[in-house]
Amino acid sequence: MTHLEVEILAIGAGPANLALAVALEELSPELARQTMMVEQSEGIVWQRGLLVPWAQSQVSFLKDLATLRNPRSRFTFVNYLHESGRLDDFMSLGTFTPYRREISDYLRWVADELEHVKLHFNRRAVEITPVRDADGGLAHWDVTFVDGTVVRARHLVAACGRDPQIPEVFRDLPAERVVHSSEYSQRVPALSARASRRIAVIGGAQSAVEMVQAVQDDVPGCSRVLITRGIGLTPYVTSKFTSRYYSTAASREFYDLGEEGRGLILDEMARSNYSGVTPELLDGLYHQMYRDRLDGKEGLRILASCEIVSATESEDGVVLALRDRITGERSELACDTVLLGTGYDQAMPAVLRRLGQSLGLAGLEVLRNYRVATGDLGADAATLHLQGVNEATHGIADSLLSTMANRAGDIVEDLIRHVEARATADGTDTATPR
C-alpha cells in the first residue's frame, strides 16, 4: 500500500476543479505544487454521457475557467482557440456558444497546460476518513483509493457531481433495460448491438430531447417514443433581465438571503435551467417531425401529459403502464429500452452525506466561501470545500460553468488565508508565495 501526503487534494477533474487548479497556479504557485487532483476516469471528457457531435454549450465561452476572474489568463477559451489555430474560424461562426465537444477539448487542453498541480487519472476514491488530533480537532483527511493507495491531505476540495435521478418506478427493471442520460454515450453501442429497436425516452427537458434526436442515428431503424408529463415541450424561460442570476454577484447576494427569499428565486429561475429545451433544438425537432409526416413516415411519437404508473419486465423487453394526466385514460407501451432524461437528484450526493456523518454532523452547512462548517476553527484544522452541489445556498448557477472561475478564486483565497494563518501560528514564514 502506497502512502502519499499533500497539502490539497481535489477529488474530480471536471470543470470545477480544473478552474481551481488554474486559480492555484495563478494565485499561489507554491500551493499549487502541493496540490494533487484525482479523477476516476481515464481522461477528461466534459458531459461524457451526452457528448453528441452536434450539441452546443448553453453558456457563453466567456464563462470559461478563467476569464471572469482573470481576463489576461493564458487559460482562457480564447487563448485555447488561438493555440489550436481556430480563433478566426470560431469568430466566423458568429456565436457565443461553442460545440460541447469543443468545450470538452478545451478542458483537456487546460489540464495539459497545468505546470504545478499534479493530475492523476484512474483514481477512484473508496473511502474518505477524517482524522483527528489528540485534542479532538480535525487534523487531516485520509483518502483511500481502489488500488489501496492512501493520500493524506490537510485540505479537501470535492467536486464529485450530483447523483442521477432514477424515478422509483424504474428502479426494479434490469440495468441493461434502463439508460440514464449521464451514461448514454457509453452505453448506446450496446443498444445497437442488442438490436434494441423500440426506444422510449422519458422526460421533457434538454437531455431527453438530445437523446431522442441522437438515438435515431446511433440505433438505425429504431422506433422512438418521447413520454413527458408536460402538455408539450417548451423552451428555456430566460431573458437578459434574469440572466444576472447566473453571475457571481448574484450568487453572493443569494447567500445573504433568508430561506424564503432563496426559495422564491430558485422557483422563479427553475425554468431557465430545468424542464426546458433550447429553442434551436425544439425548432429542429418540430421541422423533422413535420417532414416525416409529409413523407408518410411514422417518425417520432410524443406522448404528452402522460405519467408512468408502472414499468415491468416482459419476455422481450419492458411494458410501461401509462395514464393520461388530462383525461385519465390508461394505456400500455411495449419497448426494448428506456432512456431516462430525468436529470439529477437535487439532494446532497450520497458520498458527501456519508462524509458529513463521519464528521458527526447532522447536515453539511456550506459557508459563503464554499467551506463546510466542521466546527473546527483553529489555524491547524483541516478544511473541506464543496463545488457544484450548493444550489440551495449559492443559487441557480452553482452547478454550471457560469460562476466557476470566480468561485475557484474564492476557494483558493480562503485556502491561502488558512495556510498563512497556520504559518503564523507555527512561527514560520507567514507569506504564501504567489
Is the pTM above the cut of 0.95?
A: no
How far is Cα of residue 101 from the mean position of the Cα atoms in its chain? 15
Of residues 31, 87, 35, 36, the one with CA closest to residue 61:
87
Q: Does 168-236+274-340 match 3-163+345-426 at the fold level?
A: yes
44 — pLDDT class (breaks 50, 70, 90): very high
Residues 6+ apart with CB under 8 A from 372: 356, 364, 365, 366, 383, 384, 385, 386
Q: Please tell me the distance from the alpha carbon of residue 154 to that of residue 10, in angstroms, as a whole number.
A: 11
pLDDT, position 52: 86
Of residues 227, 239, 177, 179, the one with CA closest to residue 50:
179
C-alpha grid cell, residue 421: 494563518
pLDDT, position 191: 82
| Type of residue found at 169 | V
Q: Please tell me the distance from the alpha carbon of residue 197 to that of residue 194, in angstroms, as a whole number.
A: 9
Backbone angles phi, psi at 308, to 5 degrees: -100, 115
The CATH classification number of 3-163+345-426 equals 3.50.50.60
Report the pLDDT averaged over residues 7-26. Answer: 97
The CATH classification number of 168-236+274-340 equals 3.50.50.60
Mapping DSSP to helix (H, G, I), strand (E, B) and coil, where does residue 61 land? coil
Q: What is the pLDDT of residues 368-411, one digit of tens each?
A: 999 999 887 676 789 999 999 999 999 999 999 999 999 999 99
Q: What is the pLDDT of residues 333-367, one digit of tens each?
A: 999 999 999 999 988 888 899 999 999 888 899 99
pLDDT, position 430: 46
Domain ranges of the chain: 3-163+345-426, 168-236+274-340
- In this model, does residue 1 exceed pLDDT 60? no
